[in-house]
Amino acid sequence: MVLAEQKVKVSITDITQIDIEFWQMLLEKNIVISNDGEWYFISQKVQWYNSLSEKLAKKNQSRISKL
C-alpha cells in the first residue's frame, strides 16, 4: 500500500517559464506528476523490499528505536 505523498503545487504560469525538456525529464523520472491540469512534485519515494520478512524486520527495528 502506498500512503499519500506530500505534494507541492506549481502554477501553470510557473510551468510555462521552465524549459519543456526539463519537465519532460521530470515526468519520465517520476519526479513530478500531472493531475487534472495541475502539476505536483513527489517528495517521497516508495520503499520497496525484497520480501515480506525484510519489510517486517525493518518495521520492527523502527518501532524498537522509537521506544
pLDDT at 1: 46
The model scores a pTM over 0.75: no
pLDDT tens sequence for the chain (67 residues): 455 566 667 777 776 767 677 878 888 888 888 888 787 887 766 678 899 999 899 888 877 765 5
Which amino acid appears at position 7 of this protein? K
**Residues contacting 31, CB < 8 A, separation 6+:** 41, 42
**Residues contacting 40, CB < 8 A, separation 6+:** 7, 8, 9, 10, 32, 33, 34
